[in-house]
Structure 1
Amino acid sequence: LDNPDAGYRQRFSEEHAAPGYYRVKLESGVLAELTVTERTGQHRYRFPAGPGHILIDFAHMILDVWDKGTLVDEASLALSPDGLLTGSRRVHRWAKGRRIHFAMRMSRQPDRVQFFGDNDAPAAAGATGVTGNKLKVAFFFDEAGGAPIEIKTGISAVDVEGAKAALAAEAPGWRFDATRKAAARAWTKELDCVKVSGGTEAQRTIMASALYHSFVSPTLFTDRDGRYVGLDRQVHSVPAGEKAYSAYSLWDTYRALHPLLTIVRPEVATLLTRDLIRQTAQSPYGPPIWPLQGVETGTMTGWHAVSVLAEAKAKGIEADYAAAWPMIRRRAFDRTLKDADSTLGRGYYYDLGYVPADKIWESVSRTQEYAYDDWAMAVLADAVGAGDDAAALRQRSRNYRNVIDPSIGFARPRFADGKWWTPYDPIQLGHNPEKYRDYTEANGWQATFLNQHDIYGMIELFGGDDNYVRKLDAFFTAPSTLPRNAPPDITGLVGQYAHGNEPDQHAAYLYA
């Protein structure tokens, strides 16, 4: 990233972005435009006069420090006589083992085609395909200028046939401008669910942009025929009228996005609720955590699909909550249920009433978020008539108190022997931050206000309303100091309140 001229990157100008459309002028002189349908992407490139090429790099990616070993395998590229390029690959990065399949056409026939296999080895002359891990294909044009080159690509997580079906149904012919206008109309309809008046033009633009960002995900994961890949890695089909989704960033979104959708897009909230119920029943981990393209990533802490489902139930969204309860119950009580990174330490949580800081990373946040999920699961237990389970879960949801030290009024790391971390510093990330943190994207200040389900109980723990308000005042007025190794997520500080990150965004409302 420190060399913007390296690799494929180019300097650019004339950038423009709008819902459903993107345009940029590259320093090579190429004008690139992008638009979309539900399952296809469409490109339009205007080249300057002279030769040019389009490279399909099926192995390119930004490498993270934890990316090791074979990252892409079981890849294939094939070009049919009628010019249809199809391909598949399996990815072993985040959401390891997920697959993607595509079908692509170009509006102009290239003059030459060259496939490349692993290690950029050129395929034999005249080859119409290649298999391996890191694959590429280049389309060469002796004269790339003149008429624009359009590209349309259908995608599927199920198979190439699903990608072909998307391409045929959603991108017939060469109608880039018509597709762009249709995408704009679709987004206008979506964003019209909220209407505002007053304020400045800039403020209204910010509001509309924020609403657009809120609606970008979860993303559609159903082929046109209703097939999708479940969290059990098997192909399923949704009932008529239903949809499957991917990219549930539930640690981030259970707090605000899903509640918002129940208000402004209840029909979407209903589809998501029913999908989460299906995914809960299908997943070996039970309630989804951070699923991406048919794989449970186990990212962040907790299993917050239960929060989304509990809120949906409380707000009257109709769904078969009982279908999810067996796996929810296993996550609640079954020590043998498979754990992801986000659910580690459940045994300690059951036995000690908290996750110990000397055993599991991010222990303070885990304890509080597991307690919140206990409370949400209690709501669902009541909904399916499991009264004894509901009572046990509500009692256990008080476990968050076991990492709040009332003698100092802060969330505090606690060890397996029951002792608190000392000397305590609420600015720091935990007792041994060089090894791991005791909080999730937070420090002791921010973690102190993480509890969301037992506010009156927490006020009592702090000694009453006056003491609690003084603590809140201190939170918002403390020096905005962070340790040198603080994660970049802790942003937008007002005192120690981090408006730019999720854990304490509800804190201002605690005054009420």
Structure 2
Amino acid sequence: MVMLALILSPAKAQDPASFVNPFIGTSNFGATFPGPIVPWGMVSVVPYNVTPHEGNEYSNTDSWCSNPYVYNNSLMTGFSHVNLSGVGCPDLGSIILMPTTGELEVDFNKYGTPLSEEVARPGYYSAFLDRYAIKAEATATTRTGLSRYTFPEGQSNILLNLGHGLTNESGAFMKMVSDSEVEGYKLMGTFCYNPDAVVPVYFVVKFSKPAKKHGYWKKQPRLPGARHQWSSTSGKFKIYEKYFRELAGEQIGGWFTFDTEKGETIQAKVGISYVSIENARENLNAEQSGFDFEGTAQKARDSWNKQLSKIEVEGGTKADKTKFYTALYHLLIHPNILQDVNGEYPAMESSEILKAEKGNRHTVFSLWDTYRNVHPFLTLVYPKQQTDMLRSMVEMYKESGWLPKWELYSRETHVMNGDPALIVLADSYLRGLKDFDIETAYEGMMKSATSPGSVNFLRPDNDFYMENHYIPFRDSFDNSVSQALEFYVADYSLAQLAKAMGKKDDYKMLYERSLGYKKYFDPEYDLLRPVEEDGSFMPGFDPMQGENFEPVHGFHEGNSWQYSFSVPHDVKGLTKLMGGKKRFVQQLEKTFRDSLYDMGNEPDMGYPYLFNYVKGEEWRSQRTVRDCVDRYFHTGPGGLPGNDDTGTMSAWLMYSMMGFYPITPGDPMYTLSSPVFDKVTIHLDDEYFANDRIVIETENNSADNIYIQKTEMGGKPLRKFFISHEELIREGGLKFYLGDEPAK
């Protein structure tokens, strides 16, 4: 068991980073990491740890995993420099540096070490490597990583392993530049096993001290009848001691050996680029001209405090503040900056290299997740960065001919359902962000909404869907209902945009399509059920099928219960189908009472707020939201209910702790619940908003007082549980009065 030592200094209003615990989410499949990164940074320096199995073979975990660090794993095998946070499939986790001592060993199955004295805070990580008595520390800039190793006396080594990592792709190239520098690239990609999503990552590594000896290694196949072993210590690995030109292969690496005195430190800095080795070196020279570890770590922390201070919270417990600011920290990791310091980046689905002309080019768009709350959050609190992301998506359309679905370093991974970029673009525009090419964006949206399925990678079922407004069940493991539900939300969002742009015919057509969910409603169950091409219900329906991510008829990563309320654009229509408000509340209550709700996945994450649609039942949302905040989120390594999904779980938590939530994509409205804090101040960007802040105050707040007795907005009584985005900004805040029983 890895020992944890998280140091939190007394927090000040100007130092919210003191409340961040990067270990939250590193267990229970949260898939976050404790290594340093700066907001939206390209590079993160993450301890890569593994679990030994039979035969002394290591794996990243003893169960499913998609991140280089899992809190429960026992052995560290280095620092990876390109990583993903909170995702559901493995990739990257590579360009790994590993310090060791003693005789050279290059097989990661043999050189792993237990860790102790782990410390993680924004912009900094350290641990003691027990096997080697090395203190290892790490920090980062936007495009570079810096690690520092304090060695004991004797022979010390630093290994650069290009064959170890999380990626499903193989192949690498490296070249020794000198006894203190190495350059090359590593192929990454095939995220979620898409064979076309391959990405080269270029690097330059420089050491603060020349090596006494250095060279390469390469894993050798065991040929039938082969007699020679390359070395008694390297097993299947050939050690190159006098060859310093280029080396390529699948399992290759470079080693650097030093004579060190007790307490001597050696630093290693790594520049990364997705364009070229030359750009990786330029990034390194621009962002880390020297080896200033303390200064780099302080700048990283300052950058976090600048962004985290956009929201100030008062009241609540220390644990509440830790959960909140760690969630904000996790949300600001992705989408990452992609372009180099010279502005160059790889074009979407192309070998062309382009240059960012305005703002930052972003990457890692997990849009099926993030359209629900991350991008609305960024629109409100970080509109400049969100605008850059909107421009990035429009540029992806210009470059590839399609808006992205789940984009990763300018490659389309084709993961998950729906047409999510459309939703983000429409929703952001309707919330007031208009400094992007909306005409080109609309062209791309309509292309995916109306192109035939045979040429439409976003909507392959579009022919039948456009005519009939539903997708039929066709085989045992299809996702027809899930896919259609995503299209309904997309069509509703695009309809609202069309209406705002005066495109009445498009609005009418799209809005009508968005109501096609009614075809799936089965009054026998009061749930959604797959239908066949003739419109009849699929036989053999089991609304419970699909638990634990097993293959399921009609649904993706869930069952009918976790999807049947997922029509946030027409909750009133769904209520009517169920026979009225009483039955709607009964079905929704059953979801929570019978443990049918899945907080760890996106389709039903808005459910706790749906009671607000029934007058007199709003107290159920206040109770349920607070229960979810307390039940599923805490400050330990398992403090997230599942994948953070590039900040989506974190965004849900922050909204819910502040007391409002963006329930309907494409409709710039918020629905309310009771805040956790006494006071929340959101500092607005005056380049985008007329008001400079939103203040949310709470009277009579306590752990027991979770029910709203009355609410004021702008000093006047608010007798509703929905407010518009424009109202919230214009009035500048809300005031809640709470009690320990539902208001009468």
Task: Please confirm whether the aligned pair reaches a TM-score higher than 0.5, indicating the same fold.
Answer: yes
Residues 489-500 of structure 1: matches in 2 within 5 Å? Answer: 496-500=596-600
Q: Does residue 83 of structure 1 match 2:175? A: no
Per the alignment, residue 110 of structure 1 pairs with 211
Pair 355,260 (structure 1): closer, same or farther in 2 beyond 3 Å: same
Structure-2 change in CA distance of 1:415 and 1:353 (3 Å)? same
Distance 1:449 1:47, change over 3 A: same
- What is the alpha-carbon distance in structure 2 between the residues aligned to residue 42 and residue 418 of structure 1? 60
Q: Deviations over 1:187-221 (max 9, x none)?
A: 00110011011111111111111111111111111
With over 3 angstroms needed to count, the CA separation of the structure-2 counterparts of 1:416 and 1:158, relative to structure 1, is same
Q: Cα deviations across residues 345-400 of structure 1 (Å, max 9, x unaligned)?
A: 33332344322232472221111011111112223334555432232111111122
Taking the TM superposition and a 5 Å limit, the aligned residue runs for 1:211-226 are 211-226=328-343
- The partner residue of 1:380 within 492, 497, 500 is 497
Whether contact under 8 Å (1:371, 1:400) holds in the other structure is: yes
More deviation in 170-179 or 466-475?
466-475
Structure 2, unaligned runs of 5 or more: 1-50, 54-73, 76-108, 221-236, 613-744
228-237 or 375-384, larger mean C-alpha shift:
375-384
Distance 1:325 1:145, change over 3 A: farther
Deviations 1:35-83 (A, max 9, x none): 01011011111122221211111121247xxx5xxx223x321122473
Stretch moving more, 414-423 or 442-451: 414-423
- Would the alpha carbon gap of residues 144 and 296 (structure 1) be closer, same or farther in structure 2, given more than 3 Å must change? farther
Conserved 8 A contact 1:115-1:129: no
1:72 maps to 2:179: no
What's the CA shift for 1:113? 1.2
CA distance in 2, matches of 1:303, 1:108: 51
TM-score, L = length of structure 1:
0.89
The residue number in structure 2 matching 1:459 is 575
The letter of the residue matching 2:113 is: Q
Do structure 1's residue 13 and structure 2's residue 116 form an aligned pair?
yes
Equivalent in 521, 525, 536 of residue 404 of structure 1: 521
Q: Which amino acid aligns with 1:460?
A: K
C-alpha distance in 1, partners of 2:285/2:377?
35
Per-residue deviation, residues 432-466 of structure 1 (Å, max 9, x unmatched) = x9755532221111111111212222222222222
More helix by share: 1
Partner Cα separation in structure 2 for residue 435 and residue 317 of structure 1: 40
Candidates 140, 147, 152, aligned match of 1:43: 147
Is the CA contact 2:175–2:245 (under 8 Å) kept in the aligned structure 1? yes
Go from structure 1 to structure 2 and tell me whether the alpha carbon gap of 1:185 and 1:463 turns closer, same or farther (over 3 Å shift).
same
Worse-superposed segment, 384-393 or 467-476: 384-393
2:479 to 351, 362, 377: 362
Q: Structure 2 residue aligned with 1:393, among 467, 492, 510?
A: 510
State which of 159, 164, 169 in structure 1 corresponds to 2:286. 169
CA deviation profile, 1:110-151 (whole Å, cap 9, x unmatched): 111121346344447232331234321111123375421101
Out of 294, 301, 307, the position equivalent to 2:417 is 301
8 Å contact 2:368–2:418 — kept in the other structure? yes
Matches within 5 A, 1:242-391: 242-284=359-401, 286-318=402-434, 319-335=436-452, 338-340=455-457, 343-359=459-475, 361-391=478-508
The amino acid that maps onto 1:500 is: G
RMSD: 2.3
The answer (yes or no) to whether the contact 2:208–2:291 under 8 Å persists in 1 is yes
- Deviation by residue 1:88-121 (Cα, 9 ceiling, x = unmatched): 1323521622111111100111111121346344
8 Å CA contact 2:480, 2:554 repeated in 1: yes
Residue identity matched to 2:142: E
Residue identity opposite 2:209 in structure 1: R
* Structure 1 residue 333, shift from structure 2 partner: 0.8
- Map of 2:300 onto structure 1: 183
Of all paired residues, the percent bearing the same amino acid is: 31
Q: 1:437 to 1:161 in 2, by over 3 A?
A: farther
Would you say 1:97 and 2:198 are equivalent positions? yes
CA contact (8 A) 2:489 2:567 kept: yes
* Counterpart Cα distance in 2 of 1:469 and 1:147: 66
With over 3 angstroms needed to count, the CA separation of the structure-2 counterparts of 1:395 and 1:460, relative to structure 1, is same
User: Kindly tell me: are residues 294 and 408 of structure 1, through their superposed partners in 2, closer, same or farther at Cα, counting changes over 3 Å?
Assistant: same
**What amino acid is aligned across from residue 19 of structure 1 in structure 2?**
P
Q: Which moved more, 1:357-366 or 1:101-110?
A: 357-366
- Greater percentage in strand: 2
Match of 2:354? 236
Change (3 A) 1:158 1:312: same
Aligned counterpart for 2:554 among listed residues 409, 420, 438: 438
Query: 8 Å contact 2:368–2:406 — kept in the other structure?
Result: yes
1: distance between equivalents of 2:363 and 2:261?
Answer: 37
Q: Match for 1:247: what amino acid?
A: V
- 1:23 and 2:111 aligned: no
Of structures 1 and 2, the one with the larger relative CO (CA 8 A, separation 6+) is 2
Residues 115 and 128, structure 1, Cα contact 8 Å, conserved in 2? no
Match of 1:504 in 2: 604
> Could you tell me whether the CA contact under 8 Å between 2:519 and 2:535 is conserved in 1?
no
Deviations, residues 144-172 of structure 1 (Å, cap 9, x unaligned): 75421101111111111211111001001
Q: Does 1:138 align with 2:255?
A: yes
Check the 8 A contact 2:157/2:255 in 1, yes or no.
yes
Aligned-partner SS, 1:142:
strand
- Residues 344 and 355, structure 2, Cα contact 8 Å, conserved in 1: yes
Shift of 1:417: 4.0
Q: How many angstroms apart in 2 are the aligned matches of 1:336 and 1:462?
A: 32
Partner letter of residue 324 of structure 1?
A: A
Choose from 241, 246, 271 the match for 1:129.
Answer: 246
Residues 312/302 of structure 1: CA separation in 2 closer, same or farther (3 Å cut): same
